């Protein structure tokens, strides 16, 4: 795999007009007008690349957070002390230049939920209204380049449903970003059904992103898990995140949420976590014991089948084998581009997909843009089937 630093250096704007693709690399044909956007074409077709997994904040919420002990990350981002980001956490021309350099046409930007522990309903109402309006306004400054994923106060499910409706109808948002648990409550809880119903009614896709080992501003869930992930290896991120996402997807499967809402579509960050590359054990377990048989008998499908339709994985798995596993096992419709921008992963985003051996041109097209065109209703440059 290409080294990130080498790659970023090679893609710098100074080198505008030059292609750094090595002859040996299976890069798609690219054209890059001087000073312009890197254009990705696959098999002669220009693909509009759409990235489901990118992060953002809006400054407009800062005054509302002044007297509450939440939002530590947005506050540090706003004060410029967060550090370690490829571009600032706020939408601006620098973000767009980065996208141009890296061949990303559209980013779906999401705000990682930091407000689930708020018990003040009035404040949660105000915060989300301000936040969604600001996100929509910032996206609109760069037409065609960004869509905002709605934020919702899911600790109040009925309120969250209203917030989503407003975000979709007023701001044209195509989906919603949520965490892998809601302040310690699993996603499969029936309490959230009104929210899921709104998602289906409004045709809004859900993007699930874990929060540092299940933490919301210091509240770890469950107690003690972070203790096991201490030591070397960044394990809170490397193991904690995919564990969170696995539990979230497991909860949506086994609690029957996905059966109750067949129209629900949920995209999991970081390749959907461990569960997407270890589902054989879930299926086999359905025949293991009486308890497991009952648990599975209550479902309409076998556990892995949910990953063939309603549960979707982003492409951020960092190596070709794990990407290919998802395509082979669940079908190419279940994998979509995700980069985690502006998190400084040594990943090449679009090129990771272009360079994965064993993927056909049609599969690359689907992963890089085709699938999300359908899910987020963002038309491709040319109508495709």
Partner 1 sequence: MQNRRQFIKYVGTAAGAFVAGSGFLAGCRRGEQTGRRQVMIGGRRVRTIDTHSHCFVREVVPIVKGQEWASILLSSDAGTRGNRITPDFMGSERVAWMDEHGVDVQMVSINPYWFVGERGIVSELIPAQNEALAANAAKFPGRFAPWASVALQFPELAAQQLDEAVKKYNMPGAAIASNINGTELGSPALDPFWAKCVELGVACFLHPQAEGGQFNNRRWPEEFNERLAPIGPLGQPLDTAIGLAHMIFEGTFDRFPGLRIIGAHGAGFLPSYVGRADSSCEWTPKGCGPLKKKPSDYFREQIIIDSLVFDDHELRLRVEKYGVGQIMLGTDHPAPWPTKNVDDVLGNQFLNDAQKEAILSTNALKMLKIPAEA
Contact residues: partner 1, CB under 8 A: 3-4, 186, 188, 221-225, 227-229, 231-235, 237-239, 241-243, 246-247, 250-251, 253-255, 270-271, 273-275, 277-285, 287-289, 292, 295, 303-304, 317-319, 321-322, 324-325, 328-329, 344-347
> Which two three-digit tokens encode residue 19?
């292609």
Minimum CB separation of residue 234 from partner 1 in Å reads 4
Q: How far is the CB of 177 from partner 1 (least distance, A)?
A: 20
Q: What is the DSSP letter of 37?
A: -
Of 74 and 323, which has the nearer Cβ to partner 1?
Answer: 323
| Distance of closest approach, residue 67 Cβ to partner 1, in angstroms | 31
Of the candidates 218, 214, 121, 109, which has an alpha carbon nearest to the alpha carbon of residue 160?
121
Residue 129 vs 324, nearer CB to partner 1: 324
Residue 106 φ/ψ, nearest 5 degrees: -135, 135
In the complex, least distance from residue 2 CB atom to partner 1, rounded to whole angstroms: 11
Q: Which is nearer to partner 1, 71 or 242 (CB)?
A: 242
Whichever of 121 and 281 has its CB closer to partner 1, that residue is 281
Task: Give the nearer residue to partner 1 in terms of CB position, either 71 or 342.
Answer: 342
Nearer to partner 1, 133 or 324 (CB): 324
- Alpha helices by DSSP H, the chain: 4-10, 62-65, 72-78, 93-102, 121-140, 157-171, 193-202, 225-228, 235, 241-254, 257-260, 280-285, 290-297, 320-330, 350-354, 361-365, 371-376
Percent helix, strand and coil across the chain, each rounded to 5? 45, 15, 40
| CB of residue 202 to partner 1, shortest distance in Å | 27
- CB neighbourhood size of 281 (10 A): 11
CA atoms within 13 A on the CB side of 185: 14
Closer of 140 and 238 to partner 1 (Cβ): 238
The Cα–Cα gap between 361 and 350 comes to: 13
- Taking every pair of Cα atoms in the chain, the longest distance, rounded to a whole number of angstroms, is 65
Least distance to partner 1, CB of residue 190, Å: 13
Q: What is the closest distance, in whole angstroms, from the C-beta atom of residue 311 to partner 1 in the complex? A: 13
Q: Which is nearer to partner 1, 6 or 13 (CB)?
A: 6
Nearest approach, Cβ of 221 to partner 1 (angstroms)? 8
Backbone φ and ψ of 237, nearest 5°: -85, -45
In b/e form, how buried is each residue of 140-156, taking b as 16+ CB within 10 angstroms?
Answer: eebeebbbbbbbbbbbb
Strands 106-110 and 50-55: parallel
């Amino acid at each position: 795999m290409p080294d990130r630093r080498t790659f970023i250096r090679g893609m710098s704007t100074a080198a505008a007009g030059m292609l750094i693709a090595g002859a040996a690399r299976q890069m798609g044909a690219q054209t890059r007008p001087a000073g312009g956007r890197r254009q990705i074409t696959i098999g002669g077709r220009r693909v509009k690349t759409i990235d489901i997994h990118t992060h953002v904040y809006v400054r407009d919420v800062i005054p509302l957070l002044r007297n509450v002990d939440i939002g530590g990350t947005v506050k540090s981002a706003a004060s410029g002390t967060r550090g370690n980001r490829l571009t600032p956490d706020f939408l601006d021309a620098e973000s767009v230049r980065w996208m141009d350099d890296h061949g990303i046409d559209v980013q779906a930007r999401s705000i990682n939920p930091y407000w689930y522990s708020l018990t003040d309903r009035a404040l949660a109402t105000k915060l989300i209204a301000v936040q969604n309006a600001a996100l929509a306004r910032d996206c609109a400054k760069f037409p065609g380049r960004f869509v905002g994923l709605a934020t919702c106060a899911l600790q109040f499910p009925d309120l969250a449903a209203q917030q989503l409706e407003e975000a979709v109808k007023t701001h044209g948002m195509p989906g919603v970003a949520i965490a892998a648990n809601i302040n310690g409550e699993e996603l499969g809880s029936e309490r959230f059904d009104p929210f899921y119903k709104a998602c289906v009614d409004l045709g809004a896709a859900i993007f699930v992103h874990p929060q540092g080992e299940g933490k919301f501003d210091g509240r770890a869930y469950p107690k003690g898990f972070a203790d096991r992930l201490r030591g070397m290896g960044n394990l809170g991120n490397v193991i904690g995140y995919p564990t969170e996402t696995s539990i979230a997807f497991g909860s949506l499967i086994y609690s029957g949420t996905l059966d109750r809402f067949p129209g629900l579509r949920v995209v999991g960050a970081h390749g959907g976590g461990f569960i997407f590359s270890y589902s054989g054990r879930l299926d086999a377990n359905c025949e293991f014991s009486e308890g497991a048989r009952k648990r599975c008998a209550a479902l309409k499908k076998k556990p892995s089948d949910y990953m063939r339709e309603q549960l979707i994985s982003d492409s951020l798995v960092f190596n070709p084998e794990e990407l290919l596993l998802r395509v082979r096992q669940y079908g190419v419709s279940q994998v979509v581009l995700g980069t985690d921008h502006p998190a400084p992963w040594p990943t090449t985003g679009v090129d990771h997909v272009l360079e994965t051996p064993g993927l056909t041109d049609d599969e690359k097209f689907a992963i890089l843009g085709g699938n999300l065109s359908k899910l987020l209703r963002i038309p491709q440059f040319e109508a495709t089937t």
